[in-house]
Structure 1
Amino acid sequence: MPPPSFASMDAFYLHLLRSCAALPHVASVHAHIARAHPGASLFLRNSLLAAYCRLGGPLPAARLLDEMPRRNSVSFNLLIDAYSRAGHADHSLETFARARAAGVKADRFTYAAALAACSRAGDVRTGKVVHALAVLEGLANGVFLSNSLISMYARCGEMDHARRVFDIADEHDDVSWNSLLSGYVRAGAHEEMLKVFTLMCRHGMGWNSFALGSVIKCFSSGVDIAGHTAEAVHGCVVKAGLDTDVFLASAMIDMYAKKGTLSNAVALFKSVQDPNVIVFNAMIAGFCRDEAGVGKEVTREAMNLYSELLSRGMQPTEFTFSCVLRACNLAGEFEFGKQIHGQLIKHSLQGDDYIGSALIDLYSNSGCMEDGYRCFRSPYRQDIVTWTSMISGFVQNELFEKALRLFQEFLCYGLKPDLFTISSVMNACASLAVARTGEQIQCLATKSGFNRFTVMGNSCIHMYARSGDVDAATLRFQEMESCDVVSWSAVISSHAQHGCARDALHVFNEMMDAKVIPNEITFLGVLTACSHGGLVDEGLRYYDIMNKEYGLAPTIKHCTCVVDLLGRAGRLGDAEAFIRDSVFHDDPVVWRSLLASCRIHGDIERAQLVAYRIMELEPTSSASYVILYNMYLDAGELSLASKTRDLMKARGVKKEPGLSWIELKSGVHSFVAGDKSHPESDAIYTKLSEMLFKIEKLASTGNASTESNDISSREQNLVGCHSEKLAVAFGMIHLPQSAPIRVMKNLRVCCDCHSTMKLISGSENREIILRDAIRFHHFRGGACSCGDYW
């Protein structure tokens, strides 16, 4: 029997190579060829090389190429492509250089493989060299290679070169247009992308799913388009016959939802015949988009859709759970959210950072901070998103000290805060009025490069203003490179809260000159300034301007400011009429403001009616009972005062305890009335007694103001030691003479304490800054910045 021919042996081995499913099989065939068929053709050797590239990667293929007695462009093309696909772009380009050095004539596939390597490596410089060589070979203008050049330049961000290649190419096909379109999308050149998209429509060119997906994603996230343009893109998808593509369907649902046309998104979702979990995710996310301005009822549809997803037997993904938790937050469906939490535990997904963050938000919004904290501690891996959510949750629930402690722990782990983290912590510092801590965080923000951001400057203004340092707040505002309406509003409110009414109005006029449009917060600051400064006519004028010139509807806070403005000026009848004519006539907040004014002016008869009105609207709030009780005491109506106190007991109403705190180098020190739990309690009471004795001595010699006689007659009340007096005494002990004493209080300062602070500031020659629930009081030289108008 004659020996088999070379052609038959080649065919036999080619059949074996095609059947190989693993690298060892290829190696076995290779060994057999080496022994039995040393004269294998170049075609068979290239086939063996292709099998190595397919199953073993570029390294065994490179060894085979080195052993081959003959090599052609196909041999090198295979290895160039293998290196490129494996991510070794440098080796790929080295192989391309070897081919040229070996005198192998490169073809269009060689150049295409080299360009693909340049594209993956982002090496536009080498790509230009390959482009030049292709031009010299006369291959650059062909549609196959021009498409590779367009793709390479687009992926490297050189869209000008990509467009030049496109324009000079001999012909274009669908790939050419789609590559150019995708390149503009990737580069964020939205206007050019729209032009190319329009030209493709005019030339009747087809679109692929990748290019259309890129366009839709671009429209969803960055391009400001009208609704009809979104429908036009949808029409192109249908025209291209890709309307059954679930990837494009989910992208279009997301696009419609982000553009606020939920009805179109829902209609498209219902038209998908066999939606998968990605399509469901897009629709669930669409129901809880802020951009769509959805309400609670619409958000609940996301939860219904989630239930449908489960009923179809689909497996929810991490994105599904995070979207549903967001929907629960927006709709206030916290019980449903807890059920989702149980399913997360079942699927072992509670360790995902974004899901963990959503769970923390859920429990923070529902006030269940212990559960939120357990969610925070449970994941094995915690990133900055999770930490920031927990810190923000503490701030949201007014657990400011816990927020600061957690932030300190955050830094101890070596984590780097982002802008939102620092902004949340600054809000905690503002609420606690701990300026020293706030200054340290500001230094950290500056070191991290966040200080240049407007939102950071706004947080600093708010922190300094709430800490009693209006000068530092103003200076930070002046240092800002870019100020927005929040910046201006914060400075106006800062001056207003500190009793600097004219300064607040001056800043507002500067804001108008700067052509910055005021918002509701701006006018709230202006009205507060007018109220605290007794500027009745100006306040009423600004209230009219807000509504008539700027179209801003007054909120309950604006109306309360007007009531306070009129009430403090003694126009109690006008204030009451204003309440009855407003849409907030059933809100206890505005009536409580009027009640406070009734006490200032001693109008007991009106105060009784107002107090009973508040008790009807808010029977468990202590504020109205306390004000009425104190008014009866001031008027000598002890029996009525006793009845009011008995009514509080009968209704189970408890007065909120007064709490004051002061920040020193050693930390924050808190006090309540008659507090003796502080380690330095004996020294504090001794210092307080010394200061009160000094006041009484000045009163007896006639060297104090007439208010000292009033204080002396109420010595028993003074010895009661309200919390702010203890905090001031503690500050006197530890702070140097030149340092102002900054004390914060959760309630409104009483008349006795206000008078005492004035006298202490004069007798001790110290500046005292007191922040109560309403405003700041700066006591200097026996007088207060409020001018006793508070």
Structure 2
Amino acid sequence: MPPPPPFASMDAFYLHLLRSCAALPHVAAVHAHIARAHPAASLFLRNSLLSAYCRLGGPFPAARLLDEMPRRNSVSFNLLIDAYSRAGLADRSLGTFERARAAGVKADRFTFAAALAACSRAGDVRTGKAVHALAVLDGLAKGMLVSNSLISMYARCCEMDEARRVFDAADEHDDVSWNSLLSGYVRAGAHQEMLKVFTLMCRCGMGWNSFALGSIIKCCSSGVDIAGHIAEAVHGCVVKTGLATDVFLASALIDMYAKKGALSNAVVLFKSVQDPNVIVFNAMIAGFCRDEAAVGKEVTREALNLYSELLSRGMEPTEFTFSSVVRACNLAGEFEFGKQLHGQVLKHSLQGDDYIGSALIDLYSNSGCTEDGYRCFRSLYKQDIVTWTSMISGFVQNELFEKALRLFQELLCYGLKPDLFTISSVMNACASLAVARTGEQIQCLATKSGFNRFTVMGNSCVHMYARSGDVDAATLRFKEMESRDVVSWSAVISSHAQHGCARDALCIFNEMMDAKVVPNEITFLGVLTACSHGGLVDEGLRYYEIMNKEYGLAPTIKHCTCVVDLLGRAGRLGDAEAFIRDSVFHDDPVIWRSLLASCRIHGDMERGQLAADRIMELEPTTSASYVILYNMYLDAGELSLASKTRDLMKERGVKKEPGLSWIELKSGVHSFVAGDKSHPESNAIYEKLSEMLSKIEKLGSTGNASTESTGISGREQNLVGCHSEKLAVAFGMIHLPQSAPVRVMKNLRVCRECHSTMKLISRSENREIILRDAIRFHHFRGGACSCGDYW
């Protein structure tokens, strides 16, 4: 081994050794040699040793050395202050700063810079101001190093007024001064001030670093209203400073253009990157699925092609890659591709990632595979509120409302705090199940959490109360809302329409017009439903014309079906048929089924048969059409045709959906089917039902005239006598106080016999009965129904 080079002094020799140390044990060895050979080493050598400990061992061995040093100066303390600060130990760093002052060591600009860095990392603006005051007293506050540290500290603590005062008072500025101020404004969300500083920097010819430019690009990418030319100017600055090849800035620019809707610019920029890495690919993939409604499914599918290219280049996809591509599959409807991606996720052991898990839950929920989505949910290592909300929303979306409520209850048991979207989804589940008591409890939770003031929460409450049969509570909640949007107005209009309050619904629509709220398709659907249920033919036709001509809203199948229902119920069956034939939806079975129902009401056998033939041609396996046709034949006394219809159902394997009714009480939700005897209180229910029917007979009517001479078998007549809604009403009569209305929900349309019976029960029992069937609400009071026997 050649001899070591000659050194001018002992300090230089040891300094060479310390700089060559690559690990803490090496530093300790040099330290031991110095202690044995040179116990009176110079302060310079001891500070060099202290620096090596800070570099390789962290602040704690350095602190032990500082305690042993016979002499210390500002450099000694500066090294330890900075070491503690870099280690994230801000309290110890500032404690060392105070210790230095107590020891009488005069602080220099580096001391203040290190102390301010500690305050910055800790977000301790109070201590930072104290250090600032000491720097002013020592006459160092206006120097570039200290002033830059002060600007950075105040900017990180979002004290931008103080940062600007320091900046303006500084003796001179460099790139760090400007970039620190600029980044601070971005962090504080003061975008207009950021633009002013950015403009001043351009005028002064100051340079930018990648961090500052990245901050500006992030600001331009946000939802704030920043003109496109500003974004392009920032891009120009990136090119001018020679940072166009920086992949970090390239990915930020691609993201910025995608969020601003300039997807073509993002694509051009992506193609111009000579050697893109996975981060650049991620930015472009996310850009393709940024706004599916704006770019369309074909463009969204480009994200999938880009993912294939990423793999072909031999790159390893990241968590962000998978979450973005799975979302792209979701938006483009490429569910099979998404399932294959799930396999790749498992291969890379990323199934526990929150973002990927949420995207997979949404994918499986949208494809109707909720069980697979639930398995993804359970496989997550950490289930945060976002993933819980995704799973709950998936259950609601697929009409698994009971599962959604059970999962929400489990969420609360784990001590998690639901957010606004979680509660809104659960309220929708309550609305669909019409469980008002559960909905009220969730509304109380929303109020306690401070969510009740949000418009989306108010909308969910209005919808829930309306669907649960309490239109008064829905209206009250609507009036209590601080701010209302088109969804709010549409919900309250639809609620009145469903409850048969047609004139009230139209009055609310006029109030909406006075409030200058622009209606949408849902609003007009509620208005047309109100006109249909209220028999307001001329008004309904006028609103249909207004929707198209004044607001440019294209009618959907639901709007057209409402018009057919409106004309058909009024007896204008010829006009209804002509409307269907002229409509773009003349091949949709739903609109013909509406005509068939009207033909049954008015006994138009010939036109009803034509409508039925058309429905059977378009949709031969739906039971609702056969049931309407069967009942039409029964009403007309055509028993042989009714029997043929039933035989045709059996021949084609068409099964009628079983009727189900339910009622919510304090003890929970109780459901019934026709002839049900499985309920624990079955004997009491049938006894109460028999008692109520006996009272009806004393009034001179049995309420079952529609079953007479119809050819229905004895077993079927017995089932009609104990249809599910009758059992639910009897159960409600047993347990609810006299003053409370009996609210019952049913999944099918109420039959004529039950409708007549409910009117008579409401009269004989002097009780209000609210029955929701598949079409509308029926409010039975004093022997009459709110629908006017028009449903």
TM-score normalised to structure 2 length: 0.95
Secondary structure of the structure 2 residue equivalent to 1:708: coil
Offset at 1:416?
A: 1.8
Please state how far the C-alpha of 1:5 moved relative to its aligned partner: 12
State how far apart, in whole Å, the 1-side matches of 2:702 and 2:284 are: 80
Would the alpha carbon gap of residues 315 and 600 (structure 1) be closer, same or farther in structure 2, given more than 3 Å must change? same
User: 2: CA distance between counterparts of 1:612 and 1:624?
Assistant: 10
> Contact 1:360–1:375 at 8 Å: present in 2 too?
yes
CA distance in structure 1 between the partners assigned to 2:643 and 2:7 by the alignment: 119
CA distance in 2, matches of 1:701, 1:335: 57
Per-residue deviation at 1:433? 0.6
Residue equivalent to 1:608 = 609
- Please, which moves more after superposition, 336-345 or 646-655? 646-655
Report deviation, 1:462: 0.8
Could you say which residue in structure 2 is the equivalent of 1:80?
Answer: 81
Q: CA deviation at 1:136?
A: 3.6
Q: Do the aligned residues in 2 keep the contact of 1:184 with 1:193 (CA within 8 Å)?
A: yes
Q: 1:703 to 1:663 in 2, by over 3 A?
A: closer
Deviation larger for 209-218 or 229-238: 229-238
- Report the equivalent of 1:38: 39
C-alpha separation in 2, matches of 1:647 and 1:703 = 27
The farther-off stretch of 459-468 and 511-520 is 511-520
Pick which of 350-359 and 137-146 moved more: 137-146
Please identify, of 619-628 and 235-244, the stretch whose mean Cα deviation from structure 2 is larger.
Answer: 619-628
Is 2:674–2:719's contact at 8 Å kept on the other side of the alignment? no
Q: Cα gap change, 1:639/1:450 in structure 2, threshold over 3 Å: closer, same or farther? A: same
Cα deviation for residue 646 of structure 1 reads 2.9
Sort the Cα spacing of 1:387 and 1:12 in 2 relative to 1 into closer, same or farther, 3 A: same
Pick closer, same or farther for the CA change 1:578–1:229 going to 2, 3 Å. farther
Task: Report SS of the residue matched to 2:700.
Answer: helix
Alignment coverage as a number of residue pairs: 789
Deviation at 1:171, TM superposition (A): 2.4
Contact 1:262 1:292 in 2 (8 A): no
CA distance 1:734–1:102, change in 2 (3 Å) = closer
Deviation, structure 1 residue 635: 1.0
Whole-angstrom distance in 2 between the partners of 1:668 and 1:124: 56
- Once the two structures are overlaid, the 10-residue window that deviates more, 120-129 or 473-482, is 120-129
Match of 1:634 in 2: 635
Change (3 A) 1:35 1:249: same
Instruction: State the alpha-carbon separation in 1 of the partners of residues 496 and 718 from structure 2.
Output: 33
**Distance in 2 of aligned mates of 1:703 and 1:655:** 22
Q: Deviations over 1:361-394 (max 9, x none)?
A: 2211111122222222233432222222221111
**CA 1:225 to 1:358, structure 2 compared with 1: closer, same or farther past 3 Å?**
same
CA contact (8 A) 1:740 1:767 kept: yes
SS at match of 2:705: coil
1:712 and 1:381, CA in 2 relative to 1: closer, same or farther beyond 3 A?
Answer: closer
8 Å contact kept, 1:758–1:781: yes
Aligned to 1:701, the other structure's residue is in SS state coil
- What SS class does the counterpart of residue 700 from structure 1 fall into? coil
Aligned equivalents of 1:298, 1:705: Cα separation in 2: 58
Closer, same or farther in 2 for the Cα pair 1:319/1:367, shift >3 Å? same
Contact 1:696–1:712 under 8 Å retained in 2 = no
User: How far apart are residue 191 of structure 1 and its match?
Assistant: 0.7
- The structure-2 alpha-carbon separation of the partners of 1:701 and 1:520, relative to structure 1 and needing over 3 Å to count, comes to closer
In 2 relative to 1, CA 133–686 (structure 1 residues): closer, same or farther, beyond 3 Å? closer
Moved more, 151-160 or 564-573: 564-573
> C-alpha deviations, 1:703-722, integer Å up to 9, x for none?
99999999999994775422
Shift of 1:548: 2.6
Deviation at 1:66, TM superposition (A): 2.8
Q: Which deviations, in whole Å up to 9, do the C-alpha atoms of 1:393-438 show, x marking residues without a partner?
A: 1111111111112222222222221111111111111111111111
Distance in 1 separating the partners of 2:475 and 2:213: 51
In the TM superposition, what is the alpha-carbon distance from 1:769 to its structure 2 partner? 0.5
Kindly indicate whether the alpha-carbon contact (under 8 Å) linking 2:119 and 2:127 is maintained by their aligned counterparts in 1. yes
Counterpart of 2:779 in 1: which secondary structure?
strand
Distance 1:283 1:110, change over 3 A: same
Most deviating of 666-675 and 694-703 = 694-703
Instruction: Please name the residue that 1:199 is paired with.
Output: 200
CA deviation profile, 1:19-44 (whole Å, cap 9, x unmatched): 11222221221121122112322221
- 1:5 is aligned to 2:9: no
**Residue 161 to residue 539, structure 1, CA distance change in 2 (3 Å):** same
Cα 1:178–1:627 shift into 2, 3 Å: same
Per mean C-alpha deviation after superposition, the further-off stretch among 604-613 and 688-697 is 688-697
Residues 702 and 559 from structure 1, CA distance in 2 versus in 1: closer, same or farther, beyond 3 angstroms? closer
SS in 2 for 1:7: coil
The equivalent residue for 1:253 is: 254
**Equivalent residue runs for 1:360-439 within 5 Å:** 360-439=361-440
Once structures 1 and 2 are overlaid, which stretch shifts more, 513-522 or 265-274?
A: 513-522
CA displacement at 1:539 relative to structure 2: 1.7
Q: Is the 8 A contact 2:335 2:367 kept in 1?
A: yes
Question: CA 1:16 to 1:655, structure 2 compared with 1: closer, same or farther past 3 Å?
Answer: same
Q: Displacement of 1:486 after TM fit?
A: 1.5
Question: 1:7 Cα shift?
Answer: 5.5
**Displacement of 1:758:** 0.6
Residue 472 of structure 1: how far off its partner (Å): 1.1
Contact 2:592–2:611 (CA<8 Å) still a contact in 1? Answer: yes
Identity %: 92
Q: Does structure 2 conserve the Cα–Cα contact (< 8 Å) formed by 1:20 and 1:26?
A: yes
Q: Shift of residue 624 of structure 1? A: 2.1
Question: 1:599 offset after TM fit, Å?
Answer: 1.4
Secondary structure of the residue aligned to 1:695 is helix
1:437-459 CA-to-partner distances (Å, cap 9, x unmatched) read 11111122222222222211111
Q: Does the CA-based 8 Å contact 2:729-2:742 persist in structure 1? A: yes
Deviations 1:581-616 (A, max 9, x none): 332222222222222112111111111112222222
CA distance in structure 2 between the aligned counterparts of 1:381 and 1:144, rounded to whole angstroms: 44
Greater shift, 697-706 or 170-179, is seen at: 697-706
> CA 1:705 to 1:780, structure 2 compared with 1: closer, same or farther past 3 Å?
farther
Q: Distance in 1 between matches of 2:394 and 2:29?
A: 64
Write the deviation string for residues 684-734 of structure 1: whole angstroms up to 9, x where unpaired.
333323322332232169999999999999994775422212221222222
Secondary structure of 2:295's partner?
coil
Is residue 699–residue 705 contact of structure 1 (8 Å, CA) maintained in 2?
no
Q: 1:157 deviation in Å? A: 1.0
Structure 1, 501-510 or 5-14: larger mean CA deviation: 5-14
Which moves more between the two structures, 778-787 or 256-265?
256-265
| Structure 2 equivalent of residue 581 of structure 1 | 582
* Mapped contact 1:174–1:207 kept (Cα < 8 A): yes
Give the deviation of 1:233 after TM superposition.
1.9
More divergent stretch after superposition (699-708 vs 31-40): 699-708
| Aligned residue number for residue 304 of structure 1 | 305
Distance 1:571 1:701 in 2: 33
1:660 partner SS: strand
- Alignment partner of 1:769: what SS? strand
Check 1:729–1:192 CA distance in 2 against 1; reply closer, same or farther (3 A cut): same
Which whole-Å CA distance do the structure 1 matches of 2:300 and 2:5 have between them? 76
Deviation at residue 655 of structure 1 after TM alignment: 2.0
Distance in 2 between residues matched to 1:372 and 1:710, nearest whole Å: 49
Contact 1:696 1:708 in 2 (8 A): no
Relative to structure 1, the CA distance from residue 523 to residue 645 in structure 2 (aligned partners, 3 Å threshold; closer, same or farther) is same
Cα deviation per residue 1:207-255 (whole Å; 9 max; x = unaligned)?
1111111111111123223444332222221111111111111111111
Per-residue CA deviations over 1:656-685 (Å, capped at 9, x if unaligned) read: 222211112222222222333333333333
Q: Which moved more, 1:287-296 or 1:724-733?
A: 287-296
Task: Pick closer, same or farther for the CA change 1:515–1:100 going to 2, 3 Å.
Answer: same
Deviation at 1:151, TM superposition (A): 0.9
CA distance in 1, matches of 2:369, 2:754: 37
Give unpaired runs (5+ residues) of structure 1: none
Contact 1:688 1:725 in 2 (8 A): yes
Quick one: distance in 1 between partners of 2:729 and 2:703? Answer: 25
**Maintained 8 Å contact 1:707/1:755:** no
In 2, the alpha carbon distance for the partners of 1:343 and 1:463 equals 41
| CA–CA distance in structure 2, aligned partners of residues 593 and 690 of structure 1 | 37
Q: Is the 8 A contact 2:706 2:753 kept in 1?
A: no
Using the TM superposition, give the Cα deviation of residue 774 of structure 1 relative to its aligned residue in structure 2, in angstroms: 0.9
2:744–2:770 CA contact under 8 A, matched in 1: yes
- Change in CA separation of 1:225 and 1:588 when aligned onto 2, cut-off 3 Å: farther
Q: Distance in 2 between matches of 1:370 and 1:119?
A: 48
* Other structure's SS at 1:749 match: coil
Question: Structure 1 residues 3, 217: CA separation in 2 closer, same or farther (over 3 Å shift)?
Answer: closer
Unpaired runs of at least 5, structure 2: none
